[in-house]
């Protein structure tokens, strides 16, 4: 049995213990924008297992979502594209103890428009770009990892005047797809969404950035903690794993 499944056993047990809940419920899931396609795909399967309950998905940059939760915005589950935002909430007591799991992993890739003319072949070629899109490192995890990669290649300072910041990784991808920039840095799962509009130039070397991890947890202020725990268990179930794998995600704990 994997460490992930062992970590989930208490969640499953608690979910099963609550045999009956009064009436239908809305479960609000605040998730990193890079999870949009996968969680939208997962939604019907989870709702089918919970007749009458609704899964309400709120997508944005992980740092933005963490700030919303800190400000008291309603949320039952938080899925972050990096440990930092989750760590901050956990330190402030805003995550339900014992519910955090390290769920997924991803890659960071350099992409260019399909119609691009620069002929980029790798990160060193970025010295030739005029506009480079990346998420704002202050609250977009893909941007945080992008800064680490650019620092690794000693390109952060030389290229700063050419950066075009996106409010989340999906906006960065759109900038590239529309040809508004010469290149961009996004998660590998996002680049796979537009194979006809963007080309993957190179994958960031593993030693050029921190491991990309997606932690998930129940929010301490959740009004539906039992259903929220059940949702986390569903994400790591065979049905959930199949959907995540279809969308290109790997597992943080194997």
Q: What is the DSSP string of the chain?
A: --HHHHHHHHHHHHHHH----SS--EEEEEEEGGGHHHHHHHHHHHHHHSTT-EEEEEEE-HHHHHHHHHTT---SEEE-SSHHHHHHHHHTT-B-TT--EEEEE--EEEEEETT--S---SGGGGGG-S-EEEE-TTT-HHHHHHHHHHHHTT-HHHHGGGEEEESSHHHHHHHHHTTSSSEEEEEHHHHTT-TTTEEEEEEPPGGGS---EEEEEEBTT-S-HHHHHHHHHHHTSHHHHHHHHHTT-EES--
**pLDDT above 80: residue 104:** yes
pTM of the entire predicted model: 0.86
Instruction: Please give the mean pLDDT across all residues of the chain.
Output: 91
Q: Do residues 141 and 229 both lie within one domain?
A: no
Of 228, 222, 215, residue with least CA distance to 35: 215
Q: Do residues 113 and 147 both lie within one domain?
A: yes
Q: Do residues 76 and 135 both lie within one domain?
A: no
Q: What is the pLDDT of residues 182-208, one digit of tens each?
A: 999 999 999 999 999 999 999 999 999
**pLDDT above 90: residue 95:** yes
Q: Do residues 200 and 220 both lie within one domain?
A: no
Q: Do residues 221 and 95 both lie within one domain?
A: yes
Which CATH number characterizes residue 235's domain? 3.40.190.10
Q: Do residues 85 and 53 both lie within one domain?
A: yes
**pLDDT above 60: residue 13:** no
pLDDT of residue 11: 47
- Mean per-residue pLDDT, 83-109: 97
Q: Which residues of 120-157 are buried (b: 16+ CB within 10 A; e: fewer)?
A: beebebbeebeebbbbbbebbbbbbbbbbbbeebebbe
Number of domains in the chain: 2
Band of residue 6 on the pLDDT scale cut at 50, 70, 90: low
pLDDT of residue 118: 86
**pLDDT above 50: residue 102:** yes
Of 110, 116, 77, residue with least CA distance to 204: 110
pLDDT of residue 9: 46
pLDDT of residue 126: 95
Beta strands at 213-218 and 77-79: parallel, antiparallel or unpaired: antiparallel
**pLDDT above 80: residue 19:** no
Distance from C-alpha of 79 to C-alpha of 90, rounded to nearest angstrom? 13
**pLDDT above 50: residue 20:** no
Q: Do residues 66 and 90 both lie within one domain?
A: yes
Q: Would you state the torsion angle of the CA atoms of residues 33, 36, 39, 42, taken in this order, to the nearest 10 degrees? A: -170
Q: What is the pLDDT of residues 105-151, one digit of tens each?
A: 999 999 999 987 788 999 999 999 999 999 999 999 999 999 999 99
Q: Do residues 186 and 62 both lie within one domain?
A: no
Band of residue 21 on the pLDDT scale cut at 50, 70, 90: very low
Q: Do residues 201 and 237 both lie within one domain?
A: no
- Mean per-residue pLDDT, 64-74: 97
Q: What is the pLDDT of residues 233-242, one digit of tens each?
A: 999 999 999 9
Largest Cα separation within the chain, whole Å, is: 61
Q: At residue 221, what are phi and psi to the nearest 5 degrees?
A: -90, 10
Q: Do residues 16 and 92 both lie within one domain?
A: yes
Q: Do residues 198 and 115 both lie within one domain?
A: yes
Q: Do residues 43 and 165 both lie within one domain?
A: no
Residue ranges making up the domain that contains 19: 3-105+213-251
């Amino acid at each position: 049995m994997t460490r992930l499944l062992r970590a989930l056993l208490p969640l499953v047990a608690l979910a099963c213990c609550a045999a009956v809940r009064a009436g239908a419920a809305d479960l609000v899931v605040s998730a990193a924008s890079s999870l949009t396609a996968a969680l939208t795909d997962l939604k019907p399967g989870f709702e089918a297992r919970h007749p009458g309950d609704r899964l309400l998905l709120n997508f944005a940059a992980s740092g933005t979502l963490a700030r919303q939760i800190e400000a008291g915005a309603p949320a039952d589950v938080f899925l972050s594209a990096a440990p930092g935002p989750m760590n901050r909430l956990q330190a402030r007591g805003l995550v339900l103890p014992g519910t955090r799991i390290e769920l997924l992993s991803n890659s960071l890739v350099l992409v260019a428009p399909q119609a691009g003319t620069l002929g980029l072949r790798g990160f060193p070629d970025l010295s030739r770009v005029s506009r480079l899109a990346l998420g704002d490192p202050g609250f977009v995890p893909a941007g945080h990892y992008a800064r680490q990669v650019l620092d690794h290649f000693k390109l952060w300072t030389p290229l700063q005047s050419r950066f075009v910041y996106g409010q989340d990784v999906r906006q960065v991808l759109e900038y590239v797809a529309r040809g508004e920039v010469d290149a961009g840095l996004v998660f590998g799962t996002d680049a796979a969404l537009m194979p006809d509009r963007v080309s993957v130039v190179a994958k960031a070397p593993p030693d050029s950035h921190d491991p990309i991890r997606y932690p998930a947890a129940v929010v301490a202020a959740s009004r539906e903690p039992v259903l929220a725990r059940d949702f986390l268990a569903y994400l790591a179930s065979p049905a959930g794993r199949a959907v995540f794998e279809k969308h290109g995600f790997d597992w943080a704990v194997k």
